[in-house]
Amino acid sequence: MTKQSASASVEVATDPQTAFRIFTDDIDLWWVRGPINFFDSARAVGMKIEPGLGGRILEVYQRDPEDVLVLGRITVWEPGTRFAYSSEVDDTETRIDFEPAGGGTRVTVEQTLNQGGENAFYFWPNVIHWFPNWIARRDSAPGDPRELDRLSIALYYEDPAAAARWLHTVFGLDSWDKIPDEGEQPDWLELHVGRRAILLFKGEVAEKQDHGIWVYVDDLDAHFARSSAYGAKVVSEIHQHGYRKYEVEDLEGHRWTFAQARPTMI
């Protein structure tokens, strides 16, 4: 049977022992707090790796040590070399290796579907590239996690990846995530100006506009009830895919997306 897996590698300018320590100790600092980067973004306050065999990989909620989602339990713990864990949210095993490479370290992650398993959520290859960004700015960065502002702008393009490259090259806009390379077509793109996000989507909204507004609110259910009661045109009711949101149009047809704010949002 062919092994089903997904993998990715990055290189960082530090030795394997240091890279391992920063990767595991600082995960809450290098993890990008976008709306789709948690299983339950509305409740998440951080990420944590408990060191050692049997340690847990955690998505932490509501600042309560017991209010967590256990992503997996560590099965291999070799500081400076590798660690691995068995997932508790799907049928995969994840291994992350730290190898010397050209004066630095190559960090390689591989998620593998267990034999007989059916449920695989290969998210690690999509997030590993956040780690070099943190290594590069760690010495000068604040010691607190970066949190998005409550207001974001959405723009619609026929080719969002090409648009991201153009906006990066021409306007100097950057991303906490990454600028996609030629041939890459991610489903979700974010550029950032300070703590504000510019969301790039494929397609069009209404004929009269090519943009939308995203606002994060404290009580999404109460906000939806108010919007509905006062006559906003409901495009989609509250639903969840990592984050909870609903979409409406205002009195002149402009599209608004309201999402549940995380507890850590200012």
Residue 69 within any structural domain of the chain: yes
Q: Are 193 and 153 in contact (CB under 8 A)?
A: no
pTM over 0.95? The answer is: no
Residues 103 and 167 in one domain: no
Domain that holds residue 73: 5-137
* Mean pLDDT calculated for residue range 95-118: 94
Q: Above 90 in pLDDT, residue 251? A: no
Q: Above 60 in pLDDT, residue 2? A: no
| CATH number of the domain that residue 208 is part of | 3.10.180.10
Cα distances (angstroms) measured from residue 127 to each of 10, 44, 133, 177: 11, 17, 11, 8
pLDDT tens readout for residues 171-208: 888 999 889 999 888 888 999 988 999 999 887 655 55
Q: Which of these three, 105, 137, 169, is where a domain ends?
A: 137
How far apart (Å, rounded) are the C-alpha atoms in residues 46 and 33? Answer: 9
How far apart (Å, rounded) are the C-alpha atoms in residues 42 and 26? Answer: 22
Residue 142 within any structural domain of the chain: no
Q: Are 166 and 48 in contact (CB under 8 A)?
A: no
Q: Which of these three, 104, 137, 170, is where a domain ends?
A: 137
Q: Above 50 in pLDDT, residue 41? A: yes
Residues 114 and 88 in one domain: yes
pLDDT for 266: 82
pLDDT for 75: 98
* Mean pLDDT calculated for residue range 98-120: 94
Helix (H) or strand (E) holding 190: strand 189-193
252 pLDDT band, cuts 50/70/90, is confident
Number of domains in the chain: 2
pLDDT-above-70 percentage for the chain: 96
Q: Above 70 in pLDDT, residue 219? A: yes
Q: Are 127 and 34 in contact (CB under 8 A)?
A: no
| CATH number of the domain that residue 94 is part of | 3.30.530.20
pLDDT for 193: 87
pLDDT tens readout for residues 48-106: 999 999 999 999 998 777 899 999 999 999 999 999 999 999 999 999 999 999 999 99
How far apart (Å, rounded) are the C-alpha atoms in residues 236 and 220? Answer: 13
* Mean pLDDT calculated for residue range 9-36: 95
Residue 144 within any structural domain of the chain: no
Residues 49 and 91 in one domain: yes
Helix (H) or strand (E) holding 220: helix 220-229
Residues 116 and 15 in one domain: yes
Residue 199 within any structural domain of the chain: yes
